Amino acid sequence: MDVLPSQRQPPSSSKTSSLGINRDQQVEKLLKEVKQLKQKVDILDKENIALKKSIYDLSARYAASISQGGIPYKTGPFVIGNEVSPTGKEMISKVVQEASGDMEPFQSIYPHDTRDGKPFQLRYELKGHLGAVYTVEFSPNGALLASGSFDKTVRIWDTASAQKETYCLKGHTLNISDVAWTPDSSMVDTRLEGSALVIRNDAMVNTLYASRDGIHVITGDAQGVLKVWDIRSKQCISNRQNDHTQMPITHISIGRRSTDASRRAINDYDEPRYMAVNSYDNLLRVYDRGMDPPKSELRLVHSLKGFKNKNWPIKSSFYCGSGYNSSILSKHSVANDYGDIDIATTPADYLLDPQELKEEKSVLLATGSADPYAYLYNVGEDSAELMQRLEGHTDRVYAVNFHPTEPILASCSADFTVKVWGPSLNRGKKKTIN
């Protein structure tokens, strides 16, 4: 017999109540878990904010702890190594003492460095930046040093006397990747907005050099091509592939023909002979620019190895002055210094005097590196050698720059510091270029 719907028995009330209780308990449990997760997220957010705010301070403290603890550097790219410099307070006190006359100018504050026979040693350290330092540049008169950093500031340092920060230029909204002085050393440019000459290139231009004639510009681009431009016509007048792999060029460095003040005043428009090119292939190429640079053809004379710059924008710098070269002898005689050039038929303006020959036969070339070192090369016309690995930074060295008239080198690093190097007081025997 069928049962009518109205006659069917309702579900058990006990079962209904138990299901409701279980559901409520599950919801309550989920709500508690969500609340706990939100609390954990809030805590992590606060910790993340605190970490972001203190990252520069922690990095600085870490660098200081390295200088005290001496953590050894391990082989491999981008690994933090040991630093030989003292802490900031000790450095400042010694710099002040030196500036007051108690120490001989540029005297080494690391006595052990003068006994190891190395050509260059660390003179002093400049601290103040709150981020990686990407660029460093001496003023033309050599009295000031400018540095640009990830912290969006340009800092001006007095290197002639007190060796301390004199100005901190703020206002940029992005990191500072390059700086340049005016010829009279009165101000520093940081790529400010304004009128500009626009030249179209088929690849991103990573670096450029303006010739002293005010007419030509040399560029290095992301396709590994060196180009010479005539700014009057805005046309490329010559180009050369730096390497067949087309690795991007990161920096062009030009060596001075002479650094003697009296001769430099006469030869302000005399183009330097050597050009160094950094690129993303762990090679530093040195070109001879010929008799009429930048219009003459480039000749590759050296491909220097030993440092690391793959995938990092590393910069290099030349020093061609007699202040250091007086201790480096060349075996080449004056009769052989012109190679295949016929001296009898060559115009006198194209021939270098013996003093210039001596300087150009032995120039110093420094480069930064993706490891925590700067590298110093002794470059001659027929040979080149790695002179020294400059140890002291604790992170990659982005750029180096030589003083315009003295064998003094500044290096800047991702460790937030600028270091200044100079010839060791006891250099030992003179080096000879073969």
The per-residue DSSP string of 88-125 comes to HHHHHHHHHHHHTTSS-TT--S-GGGGGS--SEEEEEE
Q: What is the pLDDT of residues 339-352, one digit of tens each?
A: 333 334 333 433 44
CB within 8 Å of 240: residues ≥ 6 apart: 225, 226, 227, 298
Cα-Cα-Cα-Cα dihedral sign, residues 320, 321, 324, 325: positive
Contact 106, 422 (CB under 8 A): yes
Rounded to an integer, the average pLDDT of 351-374 is 71
Q: Where are the domains of the chain?
A: 101-433
Max avg pLDDT among 108-122, 233-247, 253-267, 314-328: 233-247
Mean pLDDT, the chain, as a whole number? 74
How sure is the predictor about 95, in pLDDT bands with cuts at 50, 70 and 90?
A: very low
pLDDT value for 164: 86
pLDDT value for 201: 86
How sure is the predictor about 202, in pLDDT bands with cuts at 50, 70 and 90?
A: confident
DSSP code, position 144: E
Rounded to an integer, the average pLDDT of 255-267 is 49
Residue type, 305: K
3-state helix, strand and coil shares in percent for the chain, rounded to the nearest 5: 25, 30, 45
pLDDT value for 176: 92
Contact 143, 159 (CB under 8 A): yes
Whether cis (ω within 30° of 0) applies to the bond prior to 272 is no
pLDDT higher than 70, residue 45: yes
Beta bridge partners of 388: 376
pLDDT higher than 70, residue 216: yes
Rounded to an integer, the average pLDDT of 382-395 is 93
pLDDT value for 193: 52
Buried residues in 349-358 as b, exposed as e (16+ CB within 10 A):
eeeeeeebbb
Written out in words, the top-level CATH class of the domain with range 101-433 is mainly beta
CB within 8 Å of 395: residues ≥ 6 apart: 78, 80, 132, 372, 413, 414, 415
Q: What is d(CA 242, CA 218) in angstroms, rounded to the nearest whole number? A: 13
CB within 8 Å of 426: residues ≥ 6 apart: 114, 115
> Taking the complete model, does pTM exceed 0.85, yes or no?
no
